[in-house]
Amino acid sequence: MIEIKSMVQPYKVEEVRNLTNAAYILRFRKNEIRFKPGQHLVVGLENTKGAREYSIYSGVEEPYLEILVREVEEGDVSKKLHNLFKDDRLKINGPYGFFMYNAKPLETKKFLFIATGTGIAPFHSFVRTYPEANYKVIHGIRKCDEAYERSHYKEGSYVACTSKDEKGDFHGRLTDYLKQTDLDKDLNIYLCGNSEMIVESMRILEQKGFDKSQMFTEVYF
């Protein structure tokens, strides 16, 4: 009898890159996965129960996949992923989702990306894929060290709104920044993060004259 071997390649960890004590980048083999910025994967450890959805952090043409993870006290998966080593195996499903499918840099003049915490991941994927795009990122974080890899964004295109220290570009919540800032009216606006931020930001933007048809949302946690 001829043994038929599986042609499915394992998803092996390449690197765990710490950004803060709690936040890290998990890089792993891309294999045959093809995706668009804004999509997410369901990630867990091979041969174990439990998995979680994570937006893809890396660009489309990069030779690996990355996700941005914040370890949380009650998060069993985030803790296990943080403790992986090179060549440990993952179970991956996806990609899924349509969050930024209509974001077309060659057709859209200006983008405004609004995120809290690790909700910046899909926007990082987008700017790594389309570095020539005209965009501005407003990132709501607690402290300046959570401005994850801000050097990856074009100079002047990233605003860190810090609520717990004064080392960011703006001291206060990102919704306070939105209230105080004049914005061009021809923006396509994408919001990713907690639901409270998204609801409040959309209310502020509507008060400033933006239409809901200009806004696209993804509740991240």
58 or 3: which carries more pLDDT confidence? 58
* In the block, residue with structure tokens 């043409």: 61
pLDDT at 3: 41
pLDDT at 221: 58
Which class is domain 111-219? alpha beta
Tens-place pLDDT, residues 91-146:
999 999 999 999 988 787 899 999 999 999 999 999 999 999 999 999 999 999 99
pLDDT at 8: 66
Q: Where are the domains of the chain?
A: 11-96, 111-219
Tens-place pLDDT, residues 17-40:
999 999 999 999 999 999 999 999
Q: What is the DSSP letter of 147?
A: S
**For domain 11-96, which CATH number applies: 3.40.50.450, 3.30.420.40, 2.40.30.10, 3.30.950.10?**
2.40.30.10
CA distance 133 to 194: 25
pTM listed for this prediction: 0.94
* DSSP assignment string, 77-137: HHHHHHT--TT-EEEEEEEE--TTTT--TTT-S-EEEEEEGGGGHHHHHHHHH-TTS-EEE
Please name which of 116, 122, 149, 160 lies closest in space to residue 25, comparing C-alpha atoms. Answer: 149
